[in-house]
């Protein structure tokens, strides 16, 4: 599968939000940018096992706590029930806000909205969770 058209779509979306793609391109199919307090990763790849290409927009929210784990994970589940289009997952030891989908039929507008959504929710919940579980913003 030729991913070039999707790489270009990602760069067009970055331009749409005011980011010069060449300044945030890490490698082919990978970009890293900052929106507010969110460090966003945008990745496009082909999965041979599933024979499908995917796009992921993600950002680290917080490191999982060592204490109050039950309350923390319960709250993560409650938050996931309230937000839309993205979700928080644990990728040891981090809590990540992410959206993953197949690349087929995605357009620039959808990708722009997804980047904004990941950035906005990360910006909200990183500060909230840090304050609540660590006492710092």
Full-model pTM: 0.95
Write down the pLDDT at residue 1: 84
Rounded to an integer, the average pLDDT of 74-86 is 98
Q: Whole-angstrom Cα distance, residue 96 to residue 63? A: 9
Write down the pLDDT at residue 123: 96
**117, HSE (Cβ side, Cα atoms, 13 Å):** 18
Strand order in the sheet with 25-27: 25-27, 30-35, 38-47, 52-63, 94-102, 87-91
Rounded to an integer, the average pLDDT of 74-103 is 97
Write down the pLDDT at residue 137: 58
pLDDT band at 74 (very low <50, low <70, confident <90, very high): very high
């Amino acid at each position: 599968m030729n991913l070039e058209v999707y790489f270009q779509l990602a760069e067009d979306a970055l331009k749409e939000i005011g980011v010069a793609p060449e300044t945030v391109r890490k490698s082919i199919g990978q970009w890293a940018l900052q929106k507010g307090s969110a460090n966003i990763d945008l990745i496009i790849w082909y999965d041979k096992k599933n024979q499908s290409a995917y796009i992921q927009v993600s950002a680290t929210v917080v490191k999982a706590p060592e204490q109050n784990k039950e309350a923390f994970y319960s709250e993560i589940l409650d938050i996931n029930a309230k937000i839309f289009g993205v979700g928080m997952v644990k990728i040891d030891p981090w809590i990540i806000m992410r959206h993953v989908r197949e690349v087929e039929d995605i357009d620039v507008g959808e990708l722009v909205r997804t980047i904004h959504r990941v950035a906005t929710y990360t910006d909200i919940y990183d500060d909230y969770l840090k304050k609540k579980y660590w006492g710092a913003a």
